[in-house]
Amino acid sequence: DAGATWTRVGTDSRMWSRGWYFGGITVEPKNPDVVYSCNVNVYRSDDAGKTWAPIKGAPGGDDYHALWIDPLNPERRILGVDQGTVVSLNGGTTWSSWYNQPTGQFYHVSTDNQFPYWVYGSQQDSGAAAVPSRTSVIDGINLTNFREITAGGESDNIAPDPKDPNILYGGRAEKLDLRTQQTQSIDPTIAHPNIDRRTWSLPLVFSPRDPRVLYFSNQRLFRTEDGGAHWSVISPDLTRENPGTPPNLDAETAALRPGPRPGVIYAIAPSRLADHDIWVGTDDGFIWRTRDEGAHWQNITPPALTPWSKVGIIDASHYDAESAYAAVDRHRLDDFRPYIYRTHDGGKTWQWIGSGLPTFVNAVREDPARRGLLYAATEKGVSVSFDDGDHWQSLQMNLPVTSVRDIEVHGNDVVIATHGRAFWIMDDVTPLRQIGAYLIKPATTIRFRPAGFTGSPMPKDEPMASNPPFGAYIDYVCGPALAGRPAEAGPHTVTLEILDSNNALVRRYSSADAPPKPDPAKLGTAPEWFITPSTLKTTPGMHRFVWPLRYPAPAALARGRGGWADGVWAPPGEYTVALTVDGRRLTQPLVVAPDPRLNLPATAYVEEFTLARQIEEMRAAVSTALSDAHEMMKKLKDEGLKRRLNEIADLASEDQWWMLPRSTTSLRYLDTALQKLEAAVDGADAAPTPDAREGWAQLRPVAAATLRAWSEFKGSVP
């Protein structure tokens, strides 16, 4: 009767286990006695709610928030869970997977110090997780790289040990050893049970000045320098007393609050520049500072911060010990405006710098390489300021509109945690640090090799994230004048040259070059297996070109790939990037650094490069001769000349290419042997092995003799 009267039909407590948070009833469209209840399981009742049985769920970690059943075809139904959506086409007997949806709901983000660095965070309902920032395979980052971690729960911070990436701290607090997968509770409140106050997310932060020191907080601040074996309390209760009731709470819920001081310390920011200097913020609207590791505290709260203003993040400056930034969230006060405050005098005065931001702010971070460059994590995306927060603009790019909860600047990358769209990385923000330049000085580039053949790539319909491009990022700006050049002036040209430390040309690119267009008929495999190279753009705006850290392959070795095949690897060292735009030449230095995971002397790279180039040069000559021999064979009529040519080249027909060459001095044999030898020498960061040197010592004179024989034969043919 449309809710006029109700009858209680059951008392099964499972239906209400998360009723305060979520839960819903869905009725089968064609049978009102069949009812579904969404909770931590999905339950089904066939008798209008008197009895229930689980049909999907625990153990699984899903929280089921919504169920839709197609009224026209009830076999088709969709479940909405914390991880995404799953679909059934057979009435719920089987379901699709949510692992193809990048919907992680992360609260914070942190990174470690290994290379490549890993990204960590705790995600709603799916627990804490870690994923590498890049992998060696061309597929990208896929589910096989994803790692579940036991420290951190589903909402707390993860603090990787700065000295050992195998040790993670998380939760409230726990210590995880990734080598053994053992998690040890190091909760400091075990020794102080009378001061244990909690909220959904608590901070856990290492000191940037002393990698031994770890801070944790509830309403007080704790400190350890031995991995949590011993903690000391270094603050009193720093929260507000009797802050009142926020307007978003009803009276019944407000009455459940724990005593007159319900708040906690929500943000910890140890100084990057001064020992014993710590800034903290509370979730009820206080900001405090100590300059003596907690012996004395000073309340430096901005006057505008009223009770229930949550200080979500404080970022202590990289440039000035008296400067800091605070992101404040007041949506519990029904105030959805953006609040970021800055101070340059140690907290004596604060300035509001939220003008131009689209909605309330979850985090603010200062760029460690350019003063005044700030990043803001808002409820709708990421914004950037180039003038210390006086003005803001969107940095959304290809990021979906989503709640961004935290930001970390790791080296040249900006890493974010979103609540609903997982982790995202903006690779190499060097251009933002040099905004206004026409040729950006490239960041130091690590010579990071893609892996060799790893078996079949991951199918493209599997979920994965893209790797950052392999190589050096060269960013440049084309102004409107270039794009608006009169047609009668002819086509404008952008050229890019890479020069070595002796100013010798390594590689040259031009916007006038024909775009790389591999010939699938000559590749021998699908072109999707190859990385498409960068091209130089001339349209107005900023462009990124990626040099793959390799010399060009000789033309004879690039057939079939549109002439763009890469040659041997350029060794680590100092290079120059020269950009010429319609006659105007700009240069910037480029440093190529060795992979930090290796411990090779500089001579090893030089030896590798020198030998690989020698082999490549000989291989190009042999490949050219072999190609010419094939063409000559098609034209020869004299059987004696054909036999003589085959003795030199050992040509194979298209259906015999896989057969072993009959002669170890033939062009075909040498082409294969040199290719194998070059791959052995140039295929890894290592000095050539004795066997590789011996192989070259044997092949080099044989190849030279065979090339002479080919030249003499070619000259003798009428």
CATH of the domain at 415: 2.130.10.10
Query: Following CA atoms 675, 678, 679, 683 in sequence, which dihedral angle do they give, to the nearest 10 degrees?
Result: -160
Q: Is 176:122 a contact under the CB 8 Å cutoff?
A: no
* DSSP character string of 418-457: EBSS-EEEE---HHHHTTT-SBPPPPPEE-PPPPS--SSP
> In sequence order, which residues have a C-beta less than 8 Å from that of residue 599 and are 6 or more positions away?
none
Residue 451 located in a structural domain: no
User: Counting beta carbons within 10 angstroms of the beta carbon of residue 227, is it exposed (0 to 12), middle (13 to 18) or buried (19 or more)?
Assistant: middle
Same domain, 316 and 394: yes
Residue 213 located in a structural domain: no
Q: Which two tokens stand for residue 677?
A: 């030898």
CA–CA distance, 215 with 172 (Å, rounded to integer): 11
CA–CA distance, 23 with 563 (Å, rounded to integer): 61
Q: Is 548:566 a contact under the CB 8 Å cutoff?
A: yes
Q: Is 99:142 a contact under the CB 8 Å cutoff?
A: no
Same domain, 322 and 409: yes
Same domain, 541 and 626: no
CA–CA distance, 718 with 710 (Å, rounded to integer): 14
Same domain, 249 and 369: yes
Same domain, 243 and 363: yes
Same domain, 376 and 407: yes
User: Residue 584 belongs to a domain with what CATH number?
Assistant: 2.60.40
Q: Hey, is 277 helix, strand or coil?
A: coil
Same domain, 544 and 636: no
> What's the pLDDT score for residue 12?
87
> What's the pLDDT score for residue 654?
47
Query: Following CA atoms 130, 136, 141, 145 in sequence, which dihedral angle do they give, to the nearest 10 degrees?
Result: -40
Q: What is the DSSP letter of 106?
A: B
Q: Is 466:472 a contact under the CB 8 Å cutoff?
A: no
Residue 300 located in a structural domain: no
> In sequence order, which residues have a C-beta less than 8 Å from that of residue 95 and are 6 or more positions away?
56, 79, 86, 87, 88
Same domain, 420 and 520: no
Q: Give the end of a domain, one of 593, 628, 648.
A: 593
Residue 305 located in a structural domain: no
Residue 130 located in a structural domain: yes
Same domain, 402 and 512: no
Q: Which long-range contacts (CB under 8 A, 24 or more apart) does 205-208 make?
A: 205/157, 205/159, 205/268, 205/269, 205/270, 206/159, 206/161, 206/162, 206/270, 207/270, 208/270, 208/271, 208/272
The dihedral region occupied by 541, where left means phi > 0, alpha psi between -120 and 50, and beta the remainder, is left
Stated pTM of the model: 0.89
Which residue ranges in the chain fall short of pLDDT 50? Answer: 483, 487, 490-491, 653-656
Q: Give the end of a domain, one of 436, 454, 475.
A: 436
CA dihedral sign, ordered 296, 283, 369, 204: positive
Closest CA to 413 of 118, 714, 654, 158: 118
> What's the pLDDT score for residue 479?
72
* Amino acid letter, 280: V
Residue 455 located in a structural domain: no
Same domain, 525 and 575: yes
Residue 303 located in a structural domain: no
Residue 401 located in a structural domain: yes
Closest CA to 366 of 394, 346, 338, 386: 386
Q: Give the end of a domain, one of 540, 573, 593.
A: 593
Same domain, 650 and 622: yes
**Domain range holding 687?**
602-716
Structurally, the chain folds into a number of domains equal to 4
Same domain, 580 and 609: no
434 vs 364, 476, 543, CA distance in Å? 20, 10, 14
